[in-house]
Amino acid sequence: MRISALHPILGAALLICSQISLAENASVKITSPAEGSKLDVMAQNKLVYEVMPGPKGDHVHLYVDNKEAAILRQLKGSYALTTLSPGQHDICVKVVDKGHTPIGVEQCVKVTVN
């Protein structure tokens, strides 16, 4: 095999590795509520989060039960959750780009509201 035939293969491999490392530099951490928490329906429940958007991310969106609930521009902060009905809920923070498209970096927690 000629060396010149390896150039396209090597280029493709480098491109894939660089895209993977871009996503690896992004992270989301929900510090509150914790996974499996029981929240009081009458309480003012708060989401506390920290985000590193990485080179492809710009800001984050908050989702409750797969519905967008807020756009969060701060990379570290808190957000007062709207009153949640009794039962189980999924709360997710997703890193998005400037066009508001998720880049695949997110964290979700399941909570129960009583």
| Span 44-87, pLDDT tens digits | 999 999 999 999 999 999 999 999 999 999 999 999 998 899 99
pLDDT per position as a tens digit, 11-48: 555 455 544 454 568 999 999 999 999 999 999 999 99
Q: How far apart are CA 52 and CA 34, in angstroms?
A: 19
Q: Which of 46, 81, 43, 48 is nearest to 65 (CA)?
A: 81
Does residue 104 register a pLDDT over 80? yes
Q: Scan for tokens 């039962």, then name that residue.
A: 87
| Full-model pTM | 0.75
Looking at the domain 26-113, which fold is it?
Immunoglobulin-like (2.60.40)
Please choose, from the candidates 46, 43, 29, the residue with its C-alpha nearest in 3D space to the C-alpha of residue 108: 29
* pLDDT at site 101: 94
